[in-house]
Structure 1
Amino acid sequence: MELVVSENGGVMHFERARTRMLESRFGMASIAFGSAIAGLVVVLVELTLTGVFSRLGDAAVTIIIITTVYAILASIVGTSTIMAMHRRTLGWVCEGRLPYESEAKKVLRFPLDSALLGGSLWLPGIVLEAMLFAVFLPGRDNAIAVILVALGGLSSAGFTYLVVDSVIRPAIPMVAKVVRPVGHPSSSVLVRVGITWALASGLPIASVLLVLADTGSGQHERIRSAVYFAIFGLISGYAATAFLAKSVAEPLDTLRRSLQKIEHGDLDVVVPVRTTSEIGLVEAALNDMASGLRERDRLRDVFGQHVGTHVAQRAIDRGMDLTGDMREVSALFVDVVGSTALAHQLEPREFVDKLNRLLSIVVDATTVNGGLVNKFEGDAALCIFGAPIELDDDATCALRAARRIRDEVLAAEELDIGLGVARGMVFAGDVGSKTRLEYTVIGDPVNEAARLTEAAKAVRQRILVSQPVIEAARSDERDLWVPHGILRLRGREDETKSWTDNRGYRNSRERSSADVDTGISHTEPRQT
């Protein structure tokens, strides 16, 4: 059983008492019995204040006894019936499980069904009272007395509705998990306000009108009774208005604070659905909204881990759309030296662990410098600077990332790598179909970067970049690079002017040792 308790001690005790009453058949039975007795008290008070009993004389005692006996018998019938209704409607509470859908729908109707039960038991009583008054009272006095009895029956049904509606509220969060919408036409705010007004103000006003219309009573008696009813109406009206205002303001304040949390990025918001009115529908809708936002963020995070956060956001913003544009970007390609031999020498799990540590360095260095790891290709990775997010200086960012990757990977002494960087115009966008898309870059700079990577594996610095990258970089970064020579790269007709950084990372003795370990020989590229 889910129970929302306030830090306020009094409210906490009230909630626990309400929950115990909800779980007990006798708790609901006591509501039916108490509402019937309350209706009887209302009838007796009204008949007394309006002077009806005084005009009945000795017959008043007979009518009071008959009315009381009928009220007790009707209460017994109502109590037995509502206990059976409790078993069919709220038995799942005692069993400590979620309700079935049919049971949940019965819970939403329970206040109305209970009120209709109480009202129906008053109908024979009203007929009985009308017969008694017809015998002992003249015509007009008879009609007023019957109306007063009917008002008592209506007040009893209204009390039943409001009390049962309040008692079942601890069960509403569980009902909300089973049925949507968590509401019923009979439980709207308008219905509750109407019933509360009828009990707190409508009943006293109607009583005042009946008293003033009763010419059988003396003027002094009518004025006194009207004053009593008016005072009661003022007090009960104020109390009911304050109660209604609080019952609406508190959940609205909770909703406001929850929306502020969501606005500030806290999506772990769950508002207890404590009512079946429109407010409960809003509470349930807010929970659904927060759940949807959490799921969207989770999917975006998962999606971002696969394609990069910028690409994920681009897909969310644009939707499933085969679009793209021409961009001038810097492409960085990194590949492992001797990966085939390593895969043969190492256990698959060990090789994958080494590869993951390498790729973590690649991702960190690329992300810090504003780039995108576009794809992993086995033991290689393609990184893009300038798409999908434009950079003011993509060339400098790519060069910095290349140096950082080289330094961190080779400092770890787990793997040897080659890096190639090229720059130029590419198509950057989505390729594929309406059901399966991939963000990619297509163009000669990508191929050139891959070929430079092959050549870089034989260079001491392990990095080769093309002339356009150096020309586009800032002067402070350009000063860190020196010409390497002109290369004729595999698959390309044009010769490539290449550069490498002016700092080596290990001496020749270390390099020779690495060559023996990986089984890879290094030859200088042809220079012209």
Structure 2
Amino acid sequence: MGLTCAHVSGLIAAAVILIPLNGHTGRPVHDFFAGKNLLTIVVLVVLGGVAVWVGGVLNLAPALRWFSLGQEPDPQQRRTATKLAGRQSLILVMTWAASGMAFILLNRDAGSAVAVPALLGVAFGAAAAVSTSLLLTQRPLRAILAVAARDSEGIVMVPGVLARLVLMWLLCSALPCGAIASLMFIKANGWILEKTAAVEIAIVVVSLAAVLLGLPVMILTSRSISDPIHEVIEAMAAVERGRTSTSVAVYERSEIGRLQSGFNRMVAGIAERERLRDLFGRHVGADVARRALQEGVSLSGDVREAAILFIDLVGSTNLAANRPPQEVAQVLNNFFQIVVHAVDRRHGLINKFQGDAVLAVFGAPLSVPGAASAALATARLLRDQLRQLPLVDFGIGVSAGSVFAGNIGAENRYEYTVIGDAVNEAARLADVAKTFAGRVVCSAAAIDRADQAERQHWASRGDTVLRGRTTPTHVFVPTGTSA
């Protein structure tokens, strides 16, 4: 359809070029459209349209066989796809050349009076048809070329942006001006135009040709630059919205193609970094991952006030011995999922999964207002939620105090952790909690650092000596239900 419409536009351009020559070529132009010439022109137009239609179908059919089925083309099909635009232009040029030669041969008795204007009309008509066909078919052809060029840097060698703009200037400005100068010289010698012909006729002819050929050429050139850039802009907007799987098609080898392929590589790098960051964050926590990306490889750390929550399962060894591995894994996953959601809700950090135990930190690596209150509220919430799980018993200990929070290890292998008496105390309180009905115990250090609203949910249970210690620790247990 695009080729046929382009062929018709070429016929209109040829007619517009020939009409101003009426009465100035030695033979009136109406003779071209009268008698047998009129029948000849009609036949040539119809045959030319059929030839263009059939040629366009035959040109496109091989590519449509794999493109319409969503198949990946083989190397030969890729090479064939690169020639689609060139072949369609060749179809139009050959059709116009054959029609022009046939018309000239049928009017050979008229000599140059018919041959020269006919050649002029064929030249302008064919040029208009070719440029219009590229304008009308570039989008569907681009879709095929994009698939053919997939996973490559483009398969079509085309002029760069500067060369396209220079070519557009030649066709739309330099060539018409040169044609005007040439026609004036030809008129002065009486070769095509009569010497008595007005100079305005030559200007009208060339001006019409410049308008008819320049507009599609200008549109084609500008769209060949603006369309790919617009695709990149839309893809950039999609990436800004978080769609890092976005990519643009690369179908030519030029600055535009390098821009498209460069954008794809950049987005692939962003997607890979986000994937690694997400994976890293799942292992060490989002806040720790963000800090590591900002600070790089460093074994630094600092001492800060933090609250520690330690939770340990009871009887996990017997559970593993008496249940299938898949069931044990499901129980542990349900347990860890509840713990992670509860800790995240209060902006805590899951620092470690230690078999069937979890160490959570509030107040590191990022300072959290009311870290002790957040840890105590999380412990109460976990007490209620974990009771709903079958086959699960637990102990939760909460403490608070000064801890070292930072990277421990070597530069090529380290982990973020917290070290301090509060950590050890929370672990031992978790053991003590297994002997209490509520399964949750905290130290006085945590209660002292909590706000008044949170303290109201806790009651003193006296002093107890924790494992490995000689001095007693004052402990508290929650009262009522969590908010």
Q: TM-score, normalised by structure 1?
A: 0.66
Worse-superposed segment, 145-154 or 324-333: 145-154
Measured in 1, the distance between the counterparts of 2:174 and 2:121 equals 13
Question: Which runs of 5 or more residues in structure 2 are unaligned?
Answer: 42-51, 98-103, 105-110
Q: 1:185 to 1:237 in 2, by over 3 A?
A: closer
Q: CA deviation at 1:383?
A: 0.7
Q: CA deviation at 1:488?
A: 4.0
Q: Which residue does 1:449 correspond to in 2?
A: 426
Check the 8 A contact 2:131/2:217 in 1, yes or no: no
Q: Does 1:98 align with 2:72?
A: yes
Q: Which residue does 1:485 correspond to in 2?
A: 463
Q: CA deviation at 1:441?
A: 2.2
Q: CA deviation at 1:79?
A: 12
DSSP 3-state at the match of 1:351: helix
1:209 pairs, out of 148, 165, 181, with: 181
Check the 8 A contact 2:153/2:250 in 1, yes or no: no
CA deviations over 1:468-505 (Å, ceiling 9, x no partner): 22222223323424253041422x4x525231225278
Q: 1:258 to 1:156 in 2, by over 3 A?
A: closer
Q: Does 1:406 align with 2:383?
A: yes
Q: CA deviation at 1:462?
A: 2.2
Measured in 2, the distance between the counterparts of 1:88 and 1:219 equals 55
Check the 8 A contact 1:399/1:421 in 2, yes or no: yes
Identity %: 29
**Within 5 A, what are the aligned runs for 1:89-488?**
92-93=66-67, 97-100=71-74, 104=78, 107-108=81-82, 111=85, 168-181=141-154, 184-186=157-159, 188-213=160-185, 214-215=187-188, 216=190, 217-234=194-211, 236-238=213-215, 240-241=217-218, 244-245=221-222, 252-253=229-230, 255-263=232-240, 265-267=241-243, 270=246, 273=249, 276=252, 278-279=255-256, 282-283=259-260, 285-319=262-296, 321-328=297-304, 329-412=306-389, 414-433=391-410, 436-479=413-456, 480-488=458-466
DSSP 3-state at the match of 1:440: strand
Measured in 1, the distance between the counterparts of 2:234 and 2:477 equals 56
Check the 8 A contact 2:444/2:476 in 1, yes or no: no
Check the 8 A contact 1:182/1:284 in 2, yes or no: no
Check the 8 A contact 1:158/1:199 in 2, yes or no: no
Q: 1:41 to 1:195 in 2, by over 3 A?
A: farther
Q: 1:48 to 1:209 in 2, by over 3 A?
A: farther
Q: CA deviation at 1:177?
A: 1.8
Q: CA deviation at 1:223?
A: 2.5
Q: CA deviation at 1:109?
A: 6.4
Q: Which residue does 2:25 correspond to in 1?
A: 54
Q: CA deviation at 1:103?
A: 5.0
Q: 1:42 to 1:463 in 2, by over 3 A?
A: closer
Q: CA deviation at 1:454?
A: 1.4
Q: CA deviation at 1:301?
A: 3.4
Measured in 2, the distance between the counterparts of 1:370 and 1:46 equals 77
Measured in 2, the distance between the counterparts of 1:396 and 1:98 equals 60
Q: TM-score, normalised by structure 2?
A: 0.72
Q: 1:80 to 1:338 in 2, by over 3 A?
A: closer
Q: Which residue does 2:100 correspond to in 1?
A: none
Check the 8 A contact 1:402/1:463 in 2, yes or no: yes
Q: CA deviation at 1:153?
A: 8.5
Measured in 1, the distance between the counterparts of 2:56 and 2:23 equals 33
Q: CA deviation at 1:169?
A: 1.4
Q: Which residue does 2:44 correspond to in 1?
A: none
Measured in 2, the distance between the counterparts of 1:342 and 1:348 equals 9
Check the 8 A contact 1:173/1:273 in 2, yes or no: yes
> 2:145 corresponds to which letter in structure 1?
I
DSSP 3-state at the match of 2:197: helix
Q: CA deviation at 1:259?
A: 3.2
Q: Which residue does 1:6 correspond to in 2?
A: none
Q: CA deviation at 1:210?
A: 1.3
CA deviations over 1:430-463 (Å, ceiling 9, x no partner): 3445554432223333222212211221233322
Check the 8 A contact 1:419/1:463 in 2, yes or no: yes
Q: CA deviation at 1:179?
A: 1.2
Measured in 2, the distance between the counterparts of 1:367 and 1:48 equals 81
Q: CA deviation at 1:296?
A: 4.0
Measured in 1, the distance between the counterparts of 2:68 and 2:390 equals 65
Q: CA deviation at 1:371?
A: 0.7
Q: Which residue does 1:501 correspond to in 2?
A: 477
Measured in 1, the distance between the counterparts of 2:212 and 2:17 equals 17
Q: 1:156 to 1:247 in 2, by over 3 A?
A: closer
DSSP 3-state at the match of 1:177: coil
CA deviations over 1:232-286 (Å, ceiling 9, x no partner): 42455355545655665565555444433433x2416746638636556545554
Measured in 2, the distance between the counterparts of 1:161 and 1:223 equals 32
Q: 1:96 to 1:53 in 2, by over 3 A?
A: farther
Q: CA deviation at 1:332?
A: 1.2
